[in-house]
């Protein structure tokens, strides 16, 4: 079966103002709206479009985290994914561990394509897709803004500093998605109801035989410094004088 695997992550909704805990040990999540990582939502939308075009027969979504992640998996199923797998753990998962978990599922599910968001908006690591490709020993195309499938190859247009770059890679492969790849579809109420009947398998992380090796330690969380109030100037000469007083010109 031609299958596409999509990894999604539960994060604080991008419309929510993030607040630091009083003890500076993290950000506040109690009572805060959580949602699917926006880049992962784009990855899922692209997988669904490829399936609708006849290039895949099944879209499988995977999430790693606490029991609350099932809410985002149900959203993914409502969007159109066929199956979901929840790797349950209360531990903080770093990119390398996530890549190892996804590789274990790839060995079991044998997808033709693994699509991930280029990064998560909570940690901005931008590492999991690249690490997965290295562990899987398969080609990768990151920051995709256009994906075209033809037989056993994928033609991916990706955004780089100099503009656009087009790669042709053999399948199976790993693709990470950028913002301009697509616009995710709106989830309708009937689809939400249908999603409740779709299969969602729950696996404990310990059952996969993967050890959690913590390589990073969060020392302190602080909010950004408040912006200094601006000053209105009457003409360009006042601007030049102000810059000179600050030693900027």
143 in Cβ contact with 6 (< 8 Å)? no
Report how far residue 126's alpha carbon sits from residue 247's, in angstroms, rounded to the nearest whole number.
37
Neighbours of 11 (CB within 10 A): 20
| Spatial distance between the Cα atoms of 204 and 169, rounded to a whole number of angstroms | 33
For the residues of 113-146, what is the DSSP string, one character each?
Answer: EEEEES--TTT----HHHHHHHHHT--EEEEEEE
Q: Which fold has domain 3-245?
A: Rossmann fold (3.40.50)
pLDDT one digit per residue (tens) for the chain, 249 residues: 799 999 999 999 988 888 888 888 888 888 889 999 999 999 999 999 999 999 999 999 999 999 999 999 999 999 999 999 999 998 889 999 999 999 999 999 999 999 999 999 988 899 999 999 999 999 999 999 999 999 999 999 998 888 899 999 999 999 999 999 999 999 989 999 999 999 999 999 989 988 888 888 888 888 888 888 888 888 999 889 888 988 887
CA dist 98 and 228 (Å) reads: 40
- Taking the whole predicted model, whether its pTM rises above 0.95 is answered as no
What is the Cβ-side half-sphere exposure of residue 6, based on CA atoms within 13 angstroms? 34
Q: What distance in Å separates the CA atoms of residue 62 and residue 218, rounded to the nearest whole number? A: 26
């Amino acid at each position: 079966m031609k299958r596409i695997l999509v990894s999604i992550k539960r994060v604080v909704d991008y419309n929510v103002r993030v607040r630091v805990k009083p003890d500076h040990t993290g950000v506040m999540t109690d009572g805060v709206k959580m949602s699917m990582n926006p880049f992962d939502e784009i990855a899922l939308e692209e997988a669904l479009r490829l399936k609708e075009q006849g290039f895949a027969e099944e879209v499988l979504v995977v999430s790693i985290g606490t029991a609350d992640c099932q809410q985002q998996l149900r959203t993914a199923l409502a969007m159109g994914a066929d199956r979901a797998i929840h790797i349950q753990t209360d531990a903080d998962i770093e990119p390398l561990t996530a890549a190892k978990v996804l590789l274990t599922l790839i060995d079991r599910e044998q997808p033709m394509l693994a699509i991930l968001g280029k990064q998560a908006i909570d940690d901005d690591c931008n590492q999991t897709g690249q690490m997965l490709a290295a562990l899987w020993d398969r080609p990768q195309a990151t920051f995709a803004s256009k994906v075209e499938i033809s037989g056993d190859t994928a033609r991916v247009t990706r955004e780089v500093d100099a503009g656009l770059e087009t790669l042709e890679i053999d399948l199976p492969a790993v693709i990470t998605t950028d913002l301009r790849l697509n616009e995710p579809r709106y989830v309708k109420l009937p689809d939400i109801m249908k999603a409740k009947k779709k299969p969602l398998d729950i696996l404990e992380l310990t059952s996969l035989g993967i050890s959690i090796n913590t390589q990073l330690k969060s020392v302190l969380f602080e909010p950004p410094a408040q912006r200094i109030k601006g000053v209105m100037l009457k003409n360009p000469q006042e601007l030049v004088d102000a810059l000179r007083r600050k030693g900027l010109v």
